[in-house]
Homo-oligomer: A and B are copies of this chain.
Amino acid sequence: MNALVARLRAGLPAEAVLTDPGITRSYANDMASFCAAGSPAAVVLPRTVEQVQHVMRTATALRVPVVPQGARTGLSGAANASDGSIVLSLTKMDRILEISAVDRIAVVEPGVVNAVLSRAVAEQGLYYPPDPSSWEQCTIGGNIGTASGGLCCVKYGVTAEYVLGLDVVLADGRLLSTGRRTAKGVAGYDLTRLFVGSEGSLGIVVRAVLGLRPAPPEQRALAAEFPSAAAACDAVCAIMERGHAPALLELMDRTSVRAVNALTHMGLPESTEALLLAAFDTPDPGPDLAAVGRICAEAGAAEVVPAEDAAESELLLQARRQALPALEALKSATMIDDVCVPRSRLADMIDGTAAIADKHDLTIGLSAHAGDGNTHPVVCFDPADADEARRARESFDEIMALGLELGGTITGEHGVGLLKREWLARELGPVGLELQRGVKAVFDPLGLLNPGKLF
């Protein structure tokens, strides 16, 4: 037993330190394709703040890198292990410590699964909006690490808006409390927000105070079939311009619709070039749905189909949630992009992505959080076909270049991880990158926390 493992075991129960390579190997990757992953020296599964502090003190003493992990549902390689690292899985710290309806907050450990929290607060008439598609598996800690989004964002924003305060174990094992449990607070620099989206590179989140909302009424949805993505995007722009506040506003291209039908036999309309889903969760969604239906018709929708009831609305959302797995099932490999552009440029982004697919003779299915301008082009390919794999990577990069050109960002909600490191540098520019590295050095002067990610 090596020195590292011995030292880890001195402050952790035996079952919390895994070293069997057959087991540790299973902690090497998140769900991103084509990101390098090494063999960790150990996987630790602490249950207390003190145990996390022990891990970080050990890592600092022995200069061993630490890779924090939630449920490893991330799509950018941010949770991938590096050789000889300690993988620090927070999944066993999964207690909901407090839910307060008066203060509209929940206090949780990082390993709480998103859906578990969502259901727990719903029982008290409350709502935790962030709903990444992996919400049945992903953890709050992971959501904070990647600043996750979901379908809700067009009305309710991303994870960042709901993180009020954090307890964080620093690289050297010290405990930082930052933020608040009050509705407002402006005391000093907003370090809390700095941790959101930092992909475990600044510290280990061990407790979070999350803001909640009152539970809204059930959603009522409609679907509209468009002869072109451009027409659907015109409708999206008009819906937002005229002041509607949909709880979701989602788009699926024909490739996605067909893929979902192939996977689920849902019978979505395959003749449509772009299927738009809009939903409202207000007490009286009728007038909004009617107005949105008219806007869609004016923008050229061939068909506008309001859901009959909440159950049918939910079915439409299920279809949208299946877009990603359905596209993944089309080919043996996929690369999932996450470019977000101003919604006024969404049509250019979608048409440009189609042109990139044509140019490279590839299948690129696209779904989008259209109301946010956030597209998820899924590049489908066979990695055994070297030329196709090369074209896939090229098109993946061209999609990001297009997004930046249109005034967008390379990542709306999936993060940077390993997958988009070079692209982050391009988006931030040299001044931004230098400052980001400076911030990193303040929190992690030895560079032990998730090294090689982000930058």
Contact = CB atoms under 8 A, between A and B. Distances in A.
A412 B186 contact: yes
B125 A243 contact: yes
Nearest to A409: B185
A427 interface: yes
Query: Which one of A104, A183, A185, A441 has the greatest number of beta carbons of chain B within 10 Å?
Result: A183
A82 interface: no
Contacts of A103: 342-344
A412 B344 CA distance: 35
A371 B245 contact: no
A415 interface: yes
A167 to B, nearest CB: 11
Copies in the complex: 2
A240 interface: yes
A22 interface: no
A22 to B, nearest CB: 34
A441 B407 CA distance: 31
A180 interface: yes
A378 interface: no
B342 A240 contact: no
Contact of A371 (B125, B183, B374, B411): B183
Interface in A331-367: 340-344
B343 A412 contact: no
Given A183-B372, A412-B182, A443-B435, A188 B428 contact: yes
B342 A411 contact: no
Interface residues of A, number: 87
A372 B193 contact: no
A181 B342 contact: yes
B189 A436 contact: yes
Contact of A415 (B186, B340, B443): B186
A431 B174 contact: yes
A214 interface: yes
Nearest to A369: B184
A419 interface: no
B187 A411 contact: yes
A101 B412 CA distance: 21
A232 to B, nearest CB: 14
A77 interface: no
A149 B186 CA distance: 10
Contacts of A410: 187
Q: Which 9 A-B residue pairings sit nearest by Cβ, starting from the closest? A: A214-B243, A438-B442, A183-B372, A185-B409, A147-B186, A193-B193, A184-B412, A186-B197, A182-B340
Given A153-B183, A154-B183, A185-B412, 17 more contacts: A101-B241, A102-B237, A102-B240, A105-B342, A147-B186, A176-B432, A182-B412, A184-B340, A185-B409, A186-B197, A186-B409, A186-B412, A187-B409, A188-B454, A190-B194, A191-B436, A284-B284
